Amino acid sequence: MEFNLFTFIFLLAILASVVALLWLNFRQDRAIKATFNEVPKGFTDSISLEDHQKAGRYTQAKLVASHFEVIVSTIVLLLWTIGGGINQLDLFWRNIITDSPLVQGSAFILSIMLIASLIDLPFSFYRNFILEQKFGFNRMSLLTFIGDLFKEILLTFIVGIPLIFGILYLMGVMGSAWWFYVWLTLSIFSLTMMWVYPTFIAPIFNKFKPLENDTLNNRIDSLLQRTGFKNDGIFVMDGSKRSSHGNAYFTGLGKNKRIVFFDTLLNGMEDREVEAILAHELGHFHHKHIRQRMISSFVFSLISLALLGYLIKQSWFFFGLGISLPSNHTALVIFSLILPVFSFFITPFSNLISRKHEFQADAFAARHTDANNLISSLVKLYKENSSSLSPDKYYSAFHDTHPSATLRIERLK
């Protein structure tokens, strides 16, 4: 391991992000305690003190888990990089596969992904079978959990191996402008996955059936006609197979778009409230938020890959992060590991834009449905999901893509 200036910059960035994350968790915990014994103003008629306190305990339990995950993930990152973990794994594959750098690099990256999944496995198990179970949200059986794990691994092999191989190939043959061709490939891949996901991938994990509520179907058809939105169908997903949390979302691209409701959401909402939730989602399409986020993502990935195109030529980048033999595949891995550390402090800006989009979508829903229906549906969602009604403002700035319930409902009123 060769310590250099970049090593110390990296360590300083890690320290700053970890301190910030733990400080934000502390602020959130303090905000929950400050309002624990009193339902926030405006919710006293719709949410009981018991439900409010359950949401507080649930939030605090998630914060404790977050403390542990932040510390463990930081230790793992340090072991991978300056601890020499990536370097040792790279040397291992260099000794096993000597005749094909592409196969060697693909095996290395794939093994990193699988090891990362194994490291996350205890946390995933805890979240589902201890934390979510404790608060009555988990509906997932151990068999479903194991089945999901194997399906994800199989998809990683089927989809991931050709993609990794293709990226490494382009890095090797496209000269100094390889990063542009890799970006183009990843962009096309992302768009393709968005198009095929509803039809081919989502059904691997969940069952989807057409919405059978004729009254609600009529309401939705009328709303779609009023807003000029076309889709490939309205489906109900068996979300109750894994959790009691309710949700609704759009998926797909172009004409291959689907409206999906969790069965748990439909069970707890009146038809007029479901219509209001859908109108909110339609607002995102009306204001082209999906397109804006997609473009932002593509621009960020282009800048990131261009930066990697520069760093991959710098020996200090590799040596400062524990890599003794620079290569395309180690550059990809260490860059993907350290990028979240350095980009952590720009998340409030992206979240600020996201929260602005939520307000715009709420306003669209209020124009095309009764705002009171959206308010009542939001209250039910916050109640059923045990979401905090009064998060700390700084914690929310870093972690929340949606405004707090209080702010959303004040705007709607």
pLDDT classification of 46: cutoffs 50, 70, 90: confident
Q: Could you give the 3-state DSSP secondary structure of residue 330?
A: helix
Q: What is the pLDDT of residue 254?
A: 65
| pLDDT above 80 for 137 | yes
In whole angstroms, give the CA distance from residue 407 to residue 101. 54
pLDDT digits (tens, 9 = 90+) for 147-192: 999 999 999 999 999 999 999 999 999 999 999 999 999 999 999 9
Give the pair of three-digit tokens for residue 263: 């069965």
The SS3 call for residue 324 is: coil
The 10s digit of each residue's pLDDT in 358-406 is 999 999 999 999 999 999 999 998 888 889 888 999 999 999 999 988 8
**pLDDT of residue 18 exceeding 80:** yes
CB neighbour list of residue 295: distance below 8 Å, 6 or more residues apart: none
Element (H, E) at 304: helix 289-311
Q: What is the pTM of this model?
A: 0.90
Q: Tell me the two tokens of residue 223.
A: 């709303």
Q: Could you write out the DSSP letters of every residue in 236-247? A: EE-GGGTBS---
Q: How does residue 258 score in pLDDT terms, banded at 50, 70 and 90?
A: confident
Q: Pick the residue with more confidence: 221 or 316?
A: 316
**Residue 403's closest CA among 357, 338, 369, 370?**
357
Q: How far apart are CA 247 and CA 394, in angstroms?
A: 26
pLDDT at 58: 96
Mean pLDDT of 45-73: 94
Q: Are 365 and 374 in contact (CB under 8 A)?
A: yes
DSSP labels, 196-212: HIIIIIHHHHS-EEE--
Domain segments of the chain: what residues?
A: 1-175+281-413
pLDDT in tens, 272-305: 999 999 999 889 888 989 889 999 999 999 999 9
Mean pLDDT (the chain) is 92
Using CA atoms, how far apart are residues 395 and 150, in angstroms rounded to an integer? Answer: 35
The span from the CA of 246 to the CA of 381, in Å, is: 7
Beta-bridge partners for 261: 236, 248
Q: How far apart are CA 292 and CA 102, in angstroms?
A: 35
Tens of pLDDT, residue by residue over 192-250, are: 988 888 888 989 999 999 888 888 888 888 888 888 887 767 889 999 999 988 888 87
| Predicted local distance difference test score (pLDDT) of residue 211 | 86
Q: Is the pLDDT score of 102 beyond 80?
A: yes
